[in-house]
Amino acid sequence: MNLQLRTKNMISAAMAVGFAIAQPPPQQPPPPQQGQPVDPGARVGAAAAGGALPGVTTGEMTMFRAGKDAFSEMEQVSNGLGPRFNLDSCGGCHAQPSTGGSSPSVNPQIAAATRAGALNKVPSFLSQNGPVRVVRFRQTPTHQADGGVHALFVVTGRNDVPAACKIAQEDFSNTANLTFRIPTPVYGGGLLESIPDSTILANLAANSAVKQQMGIGGKVNRNGNDGTITRFGWKAQNKSLMLFSGEAYNVEMGVTNEIFQNERDEDAACAANGSPEDHTNYDKLDPSDVVKFTAFMRFLAPPATGPVTASVTNGKNVFGQLGCALCHTPSLNTGKSSSASLSNQPVPLYSDLALHTMGANLNDQVSQGNAAGSDFRTAPLWGLGQRIFFLHDGRSSNLVDAILQHAGQGSEASIVIQRYNALPLSQKQDLIHFLRSL
Ligand code: HEC
Ligand code: HEC
């Protein structure tokens, strides 16, 4: 797209992503339960995330910046938006506490529903102060397994679509058939990519006696074709940042690209552009957005931690003693990388990148690769301190609740949560302070 238009769109995208500053949730958190600690909410102040890794080369920094611009850009139909979409920019969903993060406090999907004259109805499960949500259907109308993402909005009515385009919004009224996912942050994406499969497997096999005592197993998810470990997404269903970029561009925004060439809905009247809509500019040797998004996420630094008080230090010990760290591995190392900034680095992710069975309470009835309905990737906890919404469907905005939700019929975390419940209140509070320091 031309530079002038790009700048204009970036400014509006920056406005739409809600001023990238950590904000406490506007709604009052639930009153503390008897015997439970208080979650003080998202750490306020400047965002502790969003910059590039230390030690990137000049070229890597140039691509990081170009990638950040592309990631923040608000797309129009002429750039490929639609015909179906969930939002019009990557940075709108990945916004808190800065570009690349998770769901912001004000849901940008509400404004996007009617932007540029679009006529979409906002489904009942989206709200101004609720999380960004992407929706999957559990079953098809004929009761076969579905599990796929159903885009919430259409471009019909926008002032930039062909007049004949009348594609209709899907019906989301059967809420019992829906399951939600909120955005996972993409900070430290390149570090996650650079952890060797052998490191993940060795970590999963470590401490086997104590894991067994606690009822903790775990397994990796794998790519069907080359057999290597997949690690991105709530179910570790996706292989790489580039693949996720191509998929998200098509699924979330309706922008066809060099990895996913075909519109998910090939409505002829709405087909405004040739495919792939995002592509390498061969005449200018200018890489595609998918390549740029990848560079932004690859060189994006992990979130910085907050102040370490005595309570935080104690909470970190509690986290280890309870057994949280048996799944939420504090640190794994990258292997040898072709980028020095990613090579042989510690990655303080607080995850084993493996799948665990989380029981009936968290089961979303969606299978992806090795992950069955109740299996989820141990959520990386880095950056938790400035997050607003938690768990795959964003059901919690309170860390105490997020911990308690781990327990459920058949959950591998049940014993650890029993141990948490048996703690004196002051130790529980220290644990929450530790989590808010991440
Ligand atoms: C409508 C909101 C939305 C938009 C727009 C969006 N994402 Fe996401 N993103 C999500 C959700 C939801 C997930 C979790 C998906 C899952 O696991 O099913 C996610 C996960 C990711 C992840 C995985 C990170 C991890 O460690 O799990 C990457 C990478 C990513 N998105 C990149 C992008 C890029 C690049 C774009 C723009 C092309 C984009 N996203 C646009 C909602 C969005
Ligand atoms: C058996 C492995 C396991 C154990 C033990 C475990 N967790 Fe988790 N944790 C997970 C998984 C898997 C998820 C993602 C679940 C989901 O979203 O449905 C998660 C999610 C979380 C989240 C929400 C993160 C987010 O991105 O929304 C927090 C906070 C958390 N865990 C803290 C803890 C604490 C504190 C403990 C110890 C008391 C603990 N966990 C013990 C596996 C575990």
Ligand nearest to the CA of 73: 1
Average pLDDT over residues 304-318: 98
Residue 200 has pLDDT above 60, yes or no: yes
Q: Which atom of ligand 1 is nearest to the CA of 192?
A: 26
Ramachandran class of 153: left when φ > 0, alpha when ψ lies in -120 to 50, beta otherwise:
beta
394, 93 Cβ separation under 8 angstroms: no
- Closest listed residue to residue 86, CA positions, set 243, 252, 275: 252
Whether 18 has a pLDDT exceeding 50, the answer reads: no
> ∠ at Cα 225 (223, 228), nearest 5°?
45
Q: For residue 210, how far is its CA from the centre of ligand 2 (angstroms)? A: 18
Residues with C-beta less than 6 Å from any ligand 1 atom: 86-87, 90, 92-94, 132, 134, 181-184, 186, 189, 232-234, 241, 244-245, 248-249, 252-253, 293, 297
Q: Which one is predicted more confidently, 396 or 35?
A: 396
Spacing, Cα 181 to ligand 1 middle (Å): 10
- For residue 423, give the ligand nearest its CA: 2
What's the average model confidence in pLDDT over 121-149? 97
Of the candidates 290, 58, 42, 51, the residue with the CA atom closest to the CA atom of residue 188: 51
Lowest mean pLDDT among 4-13, 46-55, 174-183, 321-330: 4-13
Token pair in block for residue 250? 């098509």
d(CA 238, CA 353): 12
Mean pLDDT of the chain: 93
CA distance to 229, 237, 238, 334, per residue, from 222 (Å): 4, 8, 9, 19
Judge whether 372 and 237 are in contact, CB under 8 Å: no
pLDDT of residue 26: 42
| pLDDT value, residue 24 | 41
Pick the range with the lowest mean pLDDT from 24-33, 75-84, 157-166, 329-338. 24-33
Could you give the CA distance from residue 403 to residue 432 in angstroms, rounded to a whole number?
A: 10
Evaluate whether 328 touches 353 at the Cβ level (below 8 Å): no
- The amino acid at 14: A
**CA dist., res. 350 & res. 203, Å (int):** 12
Task: Kindly identify the ligand whose nearest atom is closest to the C-alpha of 256.
Answer: 1
Q: Give the residue, by CA position, lying nearest to ligand 2 atom 39.
A: 324
Confidence at residue 30, expressed as pLDDT on a 0 to 100 scale: 53
* Average pLDDT of span 195-200: 99
Q: pLDDT band for 17, please (50, 70, 90 cuts).
A: very low
CA of 183 to the centre of ligand 1 (A): 5
**Ligand 1 centroid, distance to 213 Cα (angstroms):** 35
Which residue's C-alpha comes closest to atom 15 of ligand 1?
233
Q: Is pLDDT at 227 greater than 60 in this prediction?
A: yes
Cis ω on the peptide bond leading into residue 104 (within 30° of 0)? no
Percent of the chain, pLDDT > 70? Answer: 93
Mean pLDDT of 279-289: 98
Pocket test for ligand 1, best of 9, 73, 88, 90 (most atoms within 8 A of CB): 90
For residue 193 the two structure tokens come to 């990519």
- Which residue has tokens 């650079």? 194
**Residue 16's pLDDT is what?**
38
Mean predicted confidence (pLDDT) in 103-119: 98
pLDDT given at position 32: 61
Tell me, in angstroms, the distance from the centre of ligand 1 to residue 5's CA: 25
Local confidence band at 33 (pLDDT 50, 70, 90 cut-offs) = confident
What is the rounded average pLDDT of the residues 389-404? 98
420 CB within 6 A, ligand 2: yes
Q: Does pLDDT of 23 surpass 50?
A: no
